Structure 1
């Protein structure tokens, strides 16, 4: 079982993160279907203006980018959106002529690219939490953008098991960190997982 331990800086933001977490759990269910389907219309009893509005709704329901943006806005509060913008500005500056990272790319990663099953999210004590997840494949989308997502909700990743080793996470800036491998903890954790 993979995990990320984190410090909870603001309980309200942790509650906001739970909304995103629940969305991500739901998206991973095999029978999940986005609720943004084309609504039913009573075409026989509509006037011209109502028909125009209905056609606009049908167009919107077939626009995947618009639907993704709607889902994003539903689960990403403005303060987290601002944090992502700062992250992508720095990332885009690093990329230079190679391209521009788009804000919705992190949401696409969370919904589809972060190929894990989210197994558990809990508060360990008043100021610490843990999120546990599993995956059947490596690589599974990596942890960097997931760490950035946690930080966007004022949840500061402090330790993780990435599938290979237990690591302390030492933050250098809001967006850059180093791993410090904990060899003894890794041995103990791997033995415990095999039991």
Structure 2
């Protein structure tokens, strides 16, 4: 079982993160429908303005990027979006001519590229929590963007088990960090997992 332990820096933002977490759990369910239902319109009873609004709704439902953006805005608050924009500006500056990453790409990663089953989100204390997840394959989309997502919600990743070792996470800036492998904790955690 993989995990990320985190420190909550602002409780309201943690509550916002729970909405995103619940969405990510729902998206991973086999019966989840990404498409929003387009209402049935009573075209005969509608005036000209209502027809225009109905056509706009239908048009938006056919625009894949607009549909993704609508889902994104439901679960990503403006402060988190601003953080993602800063992250991608830094990332794009590194990429230079190789291409431009956009904010929606992190949402695509969270929904589809982060190939894990989210098992549990739990508070350990008032300001510390853990997210446990499982994956059937490696690589599984990596943890970097997940750490950045947590950081966008003012949740600082402090420790993780990445499938190989337990690591303390040391942040050097908003977007850069490094691991210190905790060898004894790794040995104990792997042994504990074998016992389950």
Question: Shorter-normalised TM-score: what interval?
Answer: over 0.9
Q: How does 1:45-84 map to 2 (within 5 A)?
A: 45-84=45-84
Partner SS for 2:100: coil
The TM-score, its normalising length taken from structure 2, stands at: 0.96
Task: State the match for 1:138 in structure 2.
Answer: 138
- Listed one character per residue, the Cα deviations across residues 124-159 of structure 1 (whole Å, up to 9, x for unaligned) are 001111000011111110000000000000100000
Give the Cα separation in 2 of the matches to 1:10 and 1:43: 48
Gaps of 5+ in 2: none
- Listed one character per residue, the Cα deviations across residues 32-70 of structure 1 (whole Å, up to 9, x for unaligned) are 013512211122333343333222211111111001111
Give the Cα separation in 2 of the matches to 1:177 and 1:91: 14
Gaps of 5+ in 1: none
Task: State the match for 1:189 in structure 2.
Answer: 189
Cα RMSD (Å) of the superposition? Answer: 1.1
List structure 1 segments (4+ residues) > 6 angstroms apart after TM superposition. Answer: none
CA contact (8 A) 2:148 2:175 kept: yes
- Listed one character per residue, the Cα deviations across residues 148-183 of structure 1 (whole Å, up to 9, x for unaligned) are 000000100000000111100011111000011111
Q: How does 1:1-195 map to 2 (within 5 A)?
A: 1-34=1-34, 36-195=36-195
The TM-score, its normalising length taken from structure 1, stands at: 0.97
After TM superposition, the structure 1 stretch with the greater mean CA deviation from structure 2, 29-38 or 5-14, is: 29-38
